Structure 1
Amino acid sequence: MKLVTGMSDRLPLAGVLRLGRPSDIWFKPALSVVAAVAPPNLALLVLGRLDLAMYTMAGSLCALYAHSRPYAARARVLAWVALGMLGGLATALVTASLTGSAVVLVTVGAVLAAAQKALCDATRVGPPGNVVLTFISSAALFAPQTPDRIPGHLALAAAAAAWAWLVGMAPGLPRPHGPERRAASGALNATAAYVETAGAGDKAEGGPGDTARAHATAAVQAARHALLSTRRPTETRAALERLVVRAEVALASPADADPALLRAWARQVRGNRPVPEVDDLTGLTGTGTEPASPHAPLWHRLRPLAPLAVRTALGCALAGYASLALGIGRPYWALVTAASLYQANLTLTWGRGVQRVVGNLLGVLLFAALVPLAHTGDVALVLCCLALNFGAEALIARNYWLGSVCVTPMALLITEFAGFQEPGRLITERVVDTVVGALVGLVAAVAVPDRRRQRVVRTERTGPRTLAATGRSQGPRPDRRTGETTEGVRP
C-alpha cells in the first residue's frame, strides 16, 4: 500500500491537465509562425510543388523560437537554431539517400534526437527546445531521397529559415526595446503584487505571500537577464535598469514600497512611451537577483547532460524499434513522442507523457473532423495547416496537451502535401505510435535516472521557503505544467 501511495505521489494525474493562464505575448509566436509558413507554402502551391513543403516547413518553424528575448539576443538565437536545423536535416537527408534500412534510420534518428536534446538544454535555447528539431530530422529520415536532390532541398530549407529570421526580427523595427520593456513591466507588476500581499500580513509558509515573493523574484531576475542580454548600452536600457533596481528594493523592503506607484511605472514602460525617470539606487539591492556569472564553455555544460542524452537515445531507439516490430509505416512518430517526454525529473517526464497522449488522442479526433475539408483541394489543405499552426502556438502556453490537440492534426496533414492518404490508416498509426513512444520513453526514463538533475529539482522545490527565509533567488524553476524553464529567466 505504501508503495502504491508513493508512486501515486511521484506520478500524479491531478493537475497535469490543468490549464494555466495564457502568456501575455501568446499571439506573437502564433502570428509569427503563420507569417513564416504562409509565403513559402503558398508559393509552392502556385508552382504545383506542395510535395516540397516539408523542406520549407523545416526552415519556417525556426520562427517559433526566442520570442521573449531582446532583439540582439534573438538574432543570435534564431541564427543558431537555423544552423542546427540545417545540420540535422542535412544529416537525415544524407542518411536517407544512402540506406533504406529502417533499423539504421531509427538508430540515426535516436542519436540525432539525443544530440539535439543535449545541445538545446546546454545552450538554454528555450521553448520549444529540441522537439521541433527532432520532428524535422526524424521525418526527413523516412522521406524518399537521392543524393542529387539534397542540395536543392537544403536550399529550400535555408531560404525559409532566412525568411523566418526576418519574421522574428521584424517587430524590432517599430519597438526596438519591446522584450526588455515587457520584462521590466512584468517585474514591477509582480513586485507590486507581492508588496500588496505582504501589506495584508500574510506570513504563512507556502501561502500566497510566499508564492507571490517567489514569482516576483523570478520576474525581477528575468528582467535582469533580459537587460543583460542586450549588450549594447542605450538610454532606454539604463532607464529600465533603474526601474528594475526599484523593484528589487521594493522586494527587499515591501513595507516601504508603494504598489500603486510600481503598477503605474509598469503601465508606462509598455509600448513606446518614454520610460519613467527614477533615482539611481544601484548597489542598494539585496534580493540576490544580481546577474549570473558568464556561461561555462559548451563542453563543460554538456558533460552533466550525458545521462539525459543516453536516456533520450535509448528511449527514442527502443520506441522506433517497437513501432517497426508492430509494422507501423512511420516509426518516427514514436521516436518523436519519446524525445518530447524527457524533462528535469521522472515526475515531470510522467506529466509530459500524460499530456502528450491526451493531446494526441484528441488531436486525431480533430484530424478526422478536418479531413473532409482538407481533402477538397490543395488550397484547403494549406489553409487548414496555417490555422492549426496558429492554434498550436496560441494554446500551448496554457498547457502542453492543449497545444498538442492542434499539433497532431497539423503533422498528419503535412504528410498529405505529397498526396492525399487514407485517413483511417493515418489515425491508427498515429495512435499506436503515440502510445508506444510514451510507454517506451517512460521505461527509458526509469532505466537511466539522472540523479544530479533530480537533486537540483528537489532543491528548487524549496525555493519559496528559502526565499521567505533569506530573500535570495534560487534561480529559474521549471514550469510544473511543461517542465520547461521560463525562457525569459535564462541568460
Structure 2
Amino acid sequence: MKLVPGTNTRLPLAGVLRLGRPPEIWFKPALSVVVAVAPPNLALLALGRLDLAMYTMAGSLCALYAHNRPYAARALALAWVVFGMLGGLAVALVAASLTADAAVLVTVGAVLAAVQKVLCDATRIGPPGNVVLTFVSSAALFTPQSLDRIPGHLALAAAAGAWAWLVGMAPGLLRPHGPERRATAGALEAAAVYAETRGTGEDSARAQVTAAAAVEAARQSLHFAGRPSETRRALERLVVRAEVALAAPADADPGLLRGWARQVRGNRPVPEVDDLAGLGAEPASVPHPLWRRLGPLAPLAVRTALGCALAGYVSLALGIGRPYWALVTAASLYQANLTLTWGRGVQRVVGNLLGVLLFAALVPLAHTGEAALVLCCLALNFGAEALIGRNYWLGSVCVTPMALLITEFTGFREPGLLITERVVDTLVGALVGLAAAVAVPERRWQRVVRTERTGPRTLAATGRSQGPRPDQRTGDTTEGVRP
C-alpha cells in the first residue's frame, strides 16, 4: 500500500487486478452492441463510405446503456442517452469546424467531459457512464470537419441511435418483466447467503451489506417498472421476504429463498407467498430532483475538467497531434473516492498496454481489407462487453484495439505510430488525472455519492437488525466504462 503525500489515503495494489465473477446478463450488452453496430457499419461498407462509420458508431454505442432498468424506465433513459450523445457530438463537430487550434479543442473537450461526467453521475446513467459519451465527443473534436457537413453527420448518428434504442427495447417483447425479475432474484440470493451466516461470523457483515444493497436495487427496479400488475405485486412480496431474512437471518430458510430465486428467473409464474401485512419495507428511496443533485457535484466537475485539460495539454507538449486518448483516459478515472480512482488508473494502464499488444497482433488481419476491419471491430465490441464485468482492465484489453481500429475507418495508418500515441496518452492521462484527483478535495462529493446512491432503506437498515448500516458501503459500482 502507498500513502498519498499530505493525506491519510492508502492506495492499494493488491486486488486491483483480481477477476470477479461475470455478471448474470453479461451476454446481453455484448450481443446488443454487436446488433446495434453491425447493420450501420455493414451498410456503409457496402456503399463504400466506411469513412462515415465514426458517426454511426456514436449512435450505435448507446445500446450499451440501461440493461438493468425496467423497460418503462429504460425507454426514457435510452432516449436521454441518445439525446446527450447527439448534443455532445454537435458541440464537438461545430468546434472542430470553427478552429484547428489543438489547445482550444482540448479545452472544449475538457469542459464537455466535465459536463458529461456530472450529468451521468447525477442521473445515474451507467454503466458505462460518461466515458463512452466523452470518447465520442473527444474523437469528433480532432476529426476534420466543415459546417455544411454537420447536419448529415448528426443525422447518421441520430439514425444509428434510434436503431440502438430499438435494440435495447426489443427483449421486452419476450420478457416484459425481465429486469425486475432478475433484481428480485438477486435480492433473494443475497438474502440466502446472509441467512446462511445466521448473522454471526467474519463474513456476516459483508454479506449483510451486499444483501441490503441487492434488496434496495430490487426495490428501485420495481418502483420504476411502470404501472402495477399482478407480477409486480408478487415480486414485491418476495422482496419483503428477502428483507425479513435480513432482519432475522437465524430464522430464515436459505434453501427456500434460493428456490424462489430460481422460480423468479425466466418467464415462469412468480411464486405466490403470503402478504406480510405491517412488515413491508419502506418505499424505495426516490432520487432528489436533478437540480439538487448537480450542485454538490461541483468539485467533481472541476476535477474532471482540470484533469482532462491538463492531460490534453501535456500530450500536445509531447508532440501528440490528436491527444483525445489522454483526455478520455483522465475522464475515465474518477470514482467515488481516491482509492477507487487509483484502482481504476492501474486497471486502465494495464488494460491499455495489453490492448496495444493485441492491436499489434490483429492489425495485419485488419489491414487485409475494409471488411476484415469491420469484422475485427465487431468481435472486439463483443469481447469488451463480455469481459469488462469481470474487471475493467480485462475489458480494456479489447476496448483499446477496437478504439484504435475505429480510427482507421477513414484510412489505414502506420501501426507503430498509433501504438506509440496510445501508450503515451494512456500514461499521461492516468498520471495527470490522478494528480488532479489528489489536488481537488473529494469529501463532499464522496458523501453525496455514498448517501444518495448506496443508502438502502430496508428492514435491516432501519435498526431492526444488528451490524453495519448498508450506507457505510463506499465505491461506485455503477461506473463501468469503456473507451
TM-score category, normalised to shorter length: over 0.9
SS in 2 for 1:417: helix
Deviations for 1:433-452, whole angstroms, at most 9, x for unmatched residues? Answer: 00011111111111111221
Task: Name the CA distance, whole Å, in 2 between partners of 1:159 and 1:478.
Answer: 39
Q: Could you tell me whether the CA contact under 8 Å between 1:252 and 1:285 is conserved in 2?
A: no
Match of 2:219 among 212, 217, 224: 224
Inter-CA distance 461–299: structure 2 relative to 1 (3 Å threshold): closer
Q: Could you tell me whether the CA contact under 8 Å between 1:59 and 1:164 is conserved in 2?
A: yes
- Report matched runs for 1:59-458 at 5 Å: 59-198=59-198, 203-204=200-201, 207-285=202-280, 290-292=283-285, 294-455=286-447
Aligned length: 476
Task: Name the CA distance, whole Å, in 1 between partners of 2:455 and 2:218.
Answer: 22
Give TM-score scaled by structure 2 length.
0.93
Q: Could you tell me whether the CA contact under 8 Å between 1:138 and 1:332 is conserved in 2?
A: yes
> Greater shift after overlay, 371-380 or 211-220?
211-220
What's the CA shift for 1:6? 9.6
Task: Name the CA distance, whole Å, in 2 between partners of 1:5 and 1:298.
Answer: 35
Inter-CA distance 340–472: structure 2 relative to 1 (3 Å threshold): same
SS in 2 for 1:185: helix
Inter-CA distance 29–2: structure 2 relative to 1 (3 Å threshold): closer
2:303 maps to a residue whose letter is R
State the match for 2:477 in structure 1.
484
Task: Name the CA distance, whole Å, in 2 between partners of 1:259 and 1:304.
Answer: 41
Inter-CA distance 313–9: structure 2 relative to 1 (3 Å threshold): closer
Q: Could you tell me whether the CA contact under 8 Å between 1:477 and 1:485 is conserved in 2?
A: no
What's the CA shift for 1:192? 1.2
Task: Name the CA distance, whole Å, in 2 between partners of 1:326 and 1:370.
Answer: 27
Deviations for 1:354-386, whole angstroms, at most 9, x for unmatched residues? Answer: 110000000000000000000011111000000
Q: Could you tell me whether the CA contact under 8 Å between 1:344 and 1:457 is conserved in 2?
A: yes
Q: Could you tell me whether the CA contact under 8 Å between 2:109 and 2:138 is conserved in 1?
A: yes
Deviations for 1:206-252, whole angstroms, at most 9, x for unmatched residues? Answer: x1122111111111111111000113111110111111111111221
Inter-CA distance 227–458: structure 2 relative to 1 (3 Å threshold): closer
RMSD between aligned residues: 2.5
Task: Name the CA distance, whole Å, in 1 between partners of 2:280 and 2:227.
Answer: 23
Inter-CA distance 236–359: structure 2 relative to 1 (3 Å threshold): same
Inter-CA distance 43–2: structure 2 relative to 1 (3 Å threshold): closer
1:55 maps to a residue whose letter is Y
Q: Could you tell me whether the CA contact under 8 Å between 1:112 and 1:134 is conserved in 2?
A: yes
> Greater shift after overlay, 264-273 or 44-53?
264-273
Task: Name the CA distance, whole Å, in 2 between partners of 1:466 and 1:6.
Answer: 37
Inter-CA distance 250–3: structure 2 relative to 1 (3 Å threshold): closer
Q: Could you tell me whether the CA contact under 8 Å between 2:3 and 2:9 is conserved in 1?
A: no
Task: Name the CA distance, whole Å, in 1 between partners of 2:474 and 2:359.
Answer: 31
1:329 maps to a residue whose letter is G
Q: Could you tell me whether the CA contact under 8 Å between 1:195 and 1:257 is conserved in 2?
A: yes
SS in 2 for 1:143: coil
Inter-CA distance 103–138: structure 2 relative to 1 (3 Å threshold): same
Q: Could you tell me whether the CA contact under 8 Å between 2:454 and 2:470 is conserved in 1?
A: no
Deviations for 1:381-408, whole angstroms, at most 9, x for unmatched residues? Answer: 0000000000000110111111100000
- Report matched runs for 1:6-21 at 5 Å: 10-21=10-21
Inter-CA distance 472–278: structure 2 relative to 1 (3 Å threshold): farther
State the match for 1:33 in structure 2.
33
Inter-CA distance 331–4: structure 2 relative to 1 (3 Å threshold): closer
> Greater shift after overlay, 461-470 or 451-460?
461-470
What's the CA shift for 1:281? 1.2
1:447 maps to a residue whose letter is A
Inter-CA distance 366–98: structure 2 relative to 1 (3 Å threshold): same
2:190 maps to a residue whose letter is A
Give TM-score scaled by structure 1 length.
0.92
What's the CA shift for 1:262? 1.2
1:271 maps to a residue whose letter is G
- Name stretches of at least 5 consecutive residues in structure 1 with no aligned partner: none
Task: Name the CA distance, whole Å, in 2 between partners of 1:79 and 1:454.
Answer: 28
Inter-CA distance 378–237: structure 2 relative to 1 (3 Å threshold): same
Task: Name the CA distance, whole Å, in 1 between partners of 2:183 and 2:165.
Answer: 22
Task: Name the CA distance, whole Å, in 1 between partners of 2:171 and 2:242.
Answer: 27
Task: Name the CA distance, whole Å, in 1 between partners of 2:83 and 2:9.
Answer: 41
Inter-CA distance 220–177: structure 2 relative to 1 (3 Å threshold): same
What's the CA shift for 1:297? 2.3
Task: Name the CA distance, whole Å, in 2 between partners of 1:50 and 1:473.
Answer: 53
Inter-CA distance 168–81: structure 2 relative to 1 (3 Å threshold): same
Task: Name the CA distance, whole Å, in 1 between partners of 2:277 and 2:128.
Answer: 35
Task: Name the CA distance, whole Å, in 2 between partners of 1:125 and 1:428.
Answer: 33
What's the CA shift for 1:472? 7.7
> Greater shift after overlay, 74-83 or 2-11?
2-11
Inter-CA distance 392–2: structure 2 relative to 1 (3 Å threshold): closer
Q: Could you tell me whether the CA contact under 8 Å between 2:209 and 2:470 is conserved in 1?
A: no
